[in-house]
Structures are given as C-alpha cells and as structure tokens.
C-alpha cells in the first residue's frame, strides 16, 4: 500500500535522511522515531523521563496533523540509550497510556546520533 499522506515536522533530519515524521496509509498513521530534539537542540539533557514526555509531544503533534491523538496509538517502541533509565521511561509511558495501554517494546541500543539523547520513540496509530 502506498502512502496516502506524508507528514513533516520540519526537522532537519527528515530532509537529510529522506523520511517523513509520519506516514498515513489507509487507517494507519506510522510515526518515525522521535526524540526530545526541538529546533535542532536536545531538550532535557540527562532526564530520561522528561525526554520521553517531549518525544511523545513530537508524536502527538504529528498525529494531530493526521486528525488523531495519543489515544489512537496501538503500538509503541521505545529505544533507550541505557536500561538504567527504564524506570523513568516506563513511568512516563504509563502516565500517558495507563488507560489505553498500547502494545509496547522497550529495548536498549548502542547509542544515538547525539549522545545527549537518552530515548527515541516510534508509534503506530489506527483510525477506527
């Protein structure tokens, strides 16, 4: 299935790497990996909880362009720079999704493009 709509956040990496912040394909909205980077600057350095909340803010804005909200998310994938941040990341995820409870994966990776990044989040939403 080809994309019905491409959504950009205006972030510089979208043009550099040739991707969209989100892709609408039928009832699905697939949101690319999102971090706490805003206008080229990583926000909340050293605070995994705040970076997670900020990353979901980036995702929320992309979903709103598609006419959806965080409550339409059915799956999340969270990539952590270090599992030492798991409790903070899990707390943020629970605060946002304790009612809707999407499928979720949290995994540690070897690092990000910017070492100040502690978390990156992907999300899949479904338009019922």
Q: What is the pLDDT of residue 16?
A: 84
The domain spans of the chain are 5-126
HSE, side-chain direction, 13 A CA sphere, residue 6: 8
Q: 3.40.50.300, 1.10.10.1100, 3.40.1350.10, 3.30.1330.40: which CATH number matches 5-126?
A: 3.30.1330.40
pLDDT tens string, the chain, 128 residues long: the values are 577 988 988 887 788 888 889 999 999 999 999 999 988 899 999 999 999 999 999 999 999 999 999 999 999 999 999 999 999 999 999 999 999 999 999 999 999 999 999 999 999 999 98
Closest among 40, 14, 27, 36 to 80, alpha carbons compared? 36
Q: What is the pLDDT of residue 1?
A: 59
Model pTM score: 0.94
- Phi, psi dihedrals of residue 38, rounded to the nearest 5°: -130, 125
Q: What is the pLDDT of residue 13?
A: 79
In sequence order, the 6+-apart residues with CB closer than 8 A to the CB of 36 are 42, 43, 44, 50, 51, 52, 54, 55, 58, 117, 119
HSE, side-chain direction, 13 A CA sphere, residue 81: 18
């Amino acid at each position: 299935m080809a994309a019905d709509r491409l959504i950009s956040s205006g972030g510089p990496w979208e043009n550099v790497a040739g991707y969209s912040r989100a892709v609408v394909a039928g009832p699905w909205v697939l949101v690319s990996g999102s971090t706490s980077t805003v206008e080229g600057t990583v926000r909340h350095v050293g605070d995994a909880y705040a970076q997670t909340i900020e990353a979901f803010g980036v995702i929320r804005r992309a979903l709103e362009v598609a006419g959806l909200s965080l409550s339409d998310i059915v799956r999340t994938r969270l990539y952590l720079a270090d599992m030492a941040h798991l409790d903070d990341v899990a707390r943020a995820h629970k605060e946002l999704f304790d009612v809707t409870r999407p499928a979720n994966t949290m995994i540690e990776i070897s690092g990000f493009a910017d070492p100040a990044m502690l978390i990156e989040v992907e999300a899949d939403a479904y338009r019922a």
